[in-house]
Chain A
Amino acid sequence: MNKALYIRRKLWNGFFLLLSVLAAGFGLIWLGFILGALFYNGFAALSSKLFLEMTPPPGEDGGLANAILGSVMMSALAVAAGTPLGLFAGTYLAEYGRYTRLAFFVRFVNDILLSAPSIVTGLFIYEIIVVKMGHFSAWAGAASLTVIVIPVVVRTTENMLLLVPNGLREAAAALGAPQSAIIRSVTWRAARAGIVTGVLLAIARISGETAPLLFTALNNQFWSTNANAPMSSLPVVIFQFAMSPYEDWHRLAWAGALLITATVLTLSIVARILQPKRSH
């Protein structure tokens, strides 16, 4: 009687479920393809020179030492400035503002900043710092990275503080602790692992960030710890070297790419281990 319909429905079912398996395969294949190419080309170029020698002119031997230093320095500055600001703002959203209109606005704007194009961040810092100072500098680079760090930390801090059971806050309040003490010694402490996760994710996010550094920190061929001068960074060097026609620059670009990816993946895995289980 309805056998034909029955078979047709089963076939469609099989067909679409097969498609969704293929979709998952599609995603995994690209991941494998990208990581495979990266490790293959990156490991071939890996040597101790990378960490000891400066970025070379074309045709000469060299490493990425100045770029690594620049990346580490600017990321450290950005995290040092962005973490407390993000932590306080996130604390306001979760502990004080919660349902106020201001908190709603801040949340909205923060989520926009979280996904806003990073190149626009670069333009912003260029306008307010580079133009005012009259030259490119590591300060400007770090500032543009700070603008990227803040929204990440705000979002995770708020989420993690909201996971802290209200009973803890109430217990502390019942003991007579003022609210600031409750936040600092009860809720922050309870959410510590989650907040650290947010900072790690922020570091992972900025360590590969290129666009805003292009016209804030620019680049520098030499070993430089002067934050008031242009500074080299791994992503910018990768961009410059990969777009060039020189074979040995390409090799260094691959090595740099491997370093960045290894850093980012390690940070995301550690962050995932630390992250508390979500409630739902």
Chain B
Amino acid sequence: MADIALAGQMTSIPDRAIAIRKGGARDTRFRVLTLSAAVLVLAIFAGVMASLIIGALPAMRNFGWGFIYTEAWNPVTEKFGALASIYGTLVTSLLAMLVAVPVGIGIAIFLTEICPRALRRPIGIAIELLAGIPSIIYGIWGLFIFAPWFQAHVQTALVDTFANVPYLQDIFGGPPYGIGIFTAALILSIMVLPFISAVTRDVFETVPPVLKEAAYGLGCTTWEVMWRVVLPFARSGVVGGAMLALGRALGETMAVTFVIGNAHHIKQSVFAPGTTISATIANEFTEAVGDLYLSSLIEMGLILFFITFIVLASAQLMLRALERRAGSAS
């Protein structure tokens, strides 16, 4: 601001030359300042990678690749394998996506096609609030309210229903504890719902109206327009949104830690207690004694970071491609 005021008063040539030189120097300083802040973002990322790898080295040397496919987790004998945690992470997230993807798309259809105009904004905001609630709140709610309710009203009913059906009796079998893999997955699905519905709604809005109008003109019903015109057009955006949600679900810590039961084994039943990578780290890190124990937990963190990196990176590539298309269309 001072520079502009200065520039207004300048009359003589030498003054102006000095001001230009001063401005130039200030420009360079400012540019370098912003550049180094931008590079700092890269440095943080590299630092996370490097520190995890260095921290995980002792465990890597000790267990090799076996760490990934060993189920045993025994702090007393210092035998560590991450399989149960990796399994829990993947299963809870995939189950969560099974619920959240169709429901999220349904919400987006509701908000763009069915909802009365006046209600669109408030309902949209309400759904987005689900993403704003901190995960620890989901955790405490899940532990004290949802798990007991689920145990009393849904879980026992499901166990009874499938008691004599082959395969399903194993998947929905076992004692109904309330907490476990399935409960964690349901809570995750509620948490990631807004990510899917928000991205999906945004891509739905980029569909050129003329496409929809043409389909309506041919006599299509609303559902046919959504299913055959809007969804195919918005496909990559919807997949991108789902991947983003998956990335969140995989790394989610507190909500899962409260309700998963922290049991290091793989059971066939989805009602059984289990654990995830993040829940194991959250539960055990401060109590871990011995370098190998700590290092094993850090290696699990590295595995989690690696998985989420791949998922989030592909989500981004899809959404970026979409942005470019939307940019060139308008």
- Physical interaction between A and B: yes
Residues on A facing B (Cβ under 8 Å): 9-10, 12-13, 16-17, 19-24, 26-28, 30-31, 33-34, 37-38, 41, 84-89, 91-93, 95-97, 102-103, 105-106, 108-113, 115-121, 123-124, 126-128, 147, 150-151, 154, 172, 175-181, 183-185, 204, 207-211, 214-215, 218, 235, 238-239, 242-243, 250, 253-254, 257, 260-261, 264-265, 268, 272, 280
Q: Flag B219-263 by CB within 8 Å of A: 1 or 0 each.
A: 001111011000000000000000010011011111001100000
**Is B17 among interface residues, defined by CB-CB distance under 8 A?**
no
- Return chain A residues, CB-CB under 8 Å to B129: 31, 265, 268
Determine whether the beta carbon of B55 is less than 8 Å from that of A253: no
Determine whether the beta carbon of A178 is less than 8 Å from that of B26: yes
Q: Flag B196-223 by CB within 8 Å of A: 1 or 0 each.
A: 0100000001100000000000000111
In the complex, A22→B44 CA distance in Å? 43
- Return chain B residues, CB-CB under 8 Å to A26: 103
Who on chain B is nearest to A250 by CB? B144
- Known A116-B308, A119-B253, A265-B129; contact A183-B30, beta-carbon cutoff 8 A: yes
**Is B176 among interface residues, defined by CB-CB distance under 8 A?**
no
Nearest-Cβ distance from residue B77 to partner chain A, whole angstroms: 24
Determine whether the beta carbon of B23 is less than 8 Å from that of A13: no
User: What DSSP secondary structure best describes chain A's contact surface?
Assistant: helix
Determine whether the beta carbon of A260 is less than 8 Å from that of B4: no
Determine whether the beta carbon of B254 is less than 8 Å from that of A257: no
User: What DSSP secondary structure best describes chain B's contact surface?
Assistant: helix
Determine whether the beta carbon of B114 is less than 8 Å from that of A12: no
**Is B54 among interface residues, defined by CB-CB distance under 8 A?**
yes
Nearest-Cβ distance from residue A246 to partner chain B, whole angstroms: 13
**Is B133 among interface residues, defined by CB-CB distance under 8 A?**
yes
Interface size class of B (residues with CB under 8 A): 35 or more
Determine whether the beta carbon of A238 is less than 8 Å from that of B138: no
Residues on B facing A (Cβ under 8 Å): 1-4, 7, 20, 23-24, 26-27, 29-31, 33-42, 44-45, 47-48, 51-52, 54-55, 102-107, 109-111, 113-115, 123, 125-127, 129-130, 132-141, 143-146, 190, 193-194, 197, 205-206, 221-224, 226-227, 244, 247-248, 250-254, 257-258, 278, 281-282, 285-286, 298, 301, 304-305, 308-309, 312-313, 316, 326, 330
